[in-house]
Structure 1
Amino acid sequence: MSRRRRVGIAGAIVGTASAGLAAAALAKRYAVGRIRVRPDLEASEPFGELRGRPVTVKTSDGVELYAEVDGPEDAPLTVVFCHGYTLNLDSWHYQRQALRDTHRLVFWDQRCHGRSARTSAEDCTIDRLGADLAEILKALVPGPCVLIGHSMGGMTVMALADSHPELFGAKIRGVALISTSAGKLAELTLGLPALISKAVHLVAPATVSVLGRRGALVDRGRQAGNDVSFLVLRFFGFGDSSSVSPTVVDFAESMIRSTPTDVIADFYPALMSHDKLAALHVLDKVPAEIVVGDKDWLTPPDHSKAINAGLPSARLTEIQGASHLVLLEKPAEVNDAIAELLRRVQDAGAAGAVEGRAG
Structure 2
Amino acid sequence: MAAAAAAVTTGVVVERRVVRARKAGATGADELGGLRGNVRRIEVDGDVELYAEVDEIAPYADQAAGGTHLPDEATLVFVHGYALNLDCWHFQRAAFRGKRRMVFYDQRSHGRSDRSHRDDATIDQLGRDLLTVLDELVPTGPVVLVGHSMGGMTIMALAEQHPEMFGDRVVGTALISTTAGGLRPHRIISTYIPDSVGSLVGPRLIAGLARAPQLVDRARRSGSNIGFLVTDTFAFGDDVPASYVEFVDNMLGGTPFEVLAEFFPNFEKLDKYAVLTPLARIPTTILCGTKDLLTSVGHSRKMAKQVPSARLVEATGAGHMVILERADKVNAALQDLLDEAETQAGRKAS
1:33 is the counterpart of 2:29? no
Q: 1:319 to 1:202 in 2, by over 3 A?
A: same
Identity of aligned residues (%): 43
Larger CA deviation: 344-353 vs 186-195: 186-195
Letter in 2 for 1:86: A
Larger CA deviation: 103-112 vs 228-237: 228-237
- Preserved CA contact (<8 Å) 2:237 2:291: yes
Q: Match of 2:51?
A: 66
Aligned equivalents of 1:86, 1:295: Cα separation in 2: 20
CA deviations on 1:110-152 (whole Å, 9 max, x unpaired) are: 0000011011111000000000000000000032110000000
Q: Match of 1:346?
A: 342
Q: How many residues align?
A: 337
The within-5 A match list for 1:255-274 is: 255-274=251-270
- Preserved CA contact (<8 Å) 1:212 1:263: no
Q: Match of 1:250?
A: 246
Q: Match of 1:222?
A: 220
- Preserved CA contact (<8 Å) 2:222 2:249: no
Aligned equivalents of 1:201, 1:180: Cα separation in 2: 20
What is the CA-CA distance between 1:193 and the residue it aligns to? 5.1
The within-5 A match list for 1:84-233 is: 84-142=81-139, 143-186=141-184, 189-190=187-188, 195=193, 199-223=197-221, 225-233=223-231
Q: SS at the partner of 1:290? A: strand
Aligned equivalents of 1:61, 1:272: Cα separation in 2: 29
- Preserved CA contact (<8 Å) 2:74 2:338: no
Q: 1:98 to 1:135 in 2, by over 3 A?
A: same
The within-5 A match list for 1:15-26 is: 15-26=2-13
User: How well do the aligned residues superpose, as a CA RMSD in angstroms?
Assistant: 1.8
Instruction: Tell me the TM-score normalized by structure 1.
Output: 0.89
What is the CA-CA distance between 1:16 and the residue it aligns to? 2.1
Aligned equivalents of 2:343, 2:330: Cα separation in 1: 20
- Preserved CA contact (<8 Å) 1:161 1:168: yes
What is the CA-CA distance between 1:191 and the residue it aligns to? 10
Aligned equivalents of 1:104, 1:286: Cα separation in 2: 20
Uncovered stretches (5+) of structure 1, i.e. residues with no partner = 1-13
Larger Rg computed on CA atoms: 1
- Preserved CA contact (<8 Å) 2:187 2:193: no
- Preserved CA contact (<8 Å) 1:69 1:105: yes
What is the CA-CA distance between 1:298 and the residue it aligns to? 0.7
Q: SS at the partner of 2:276? A: helix
Letter in 1 for 2:138: V
Q: 1:272 to 1:193 in 2, by over 3 A?
A: closer
What is the CA-CA distance between 1:169 and the residue it aligns to? 0.6
Q: SS at the partner of 2:41? A: strand
What is the CA-CA distance between 1:72 and the residue it aligns to? 1.3
Instruction: Tell me the TM-score normalized by structure 2.
Output: 0.92
Whose helix proportion is higher, 1 or 2?
A: 1
4+ residue runs of structure 1 moved beyond 6 angstroms?
A: none
What is the CA-CA distance between 1:226 and the residue it aligns to? 1.1
Q: Match of 2:65?
A: none
Aligned equivalents of 2:318, 2:76: Cα separation in 1: 24
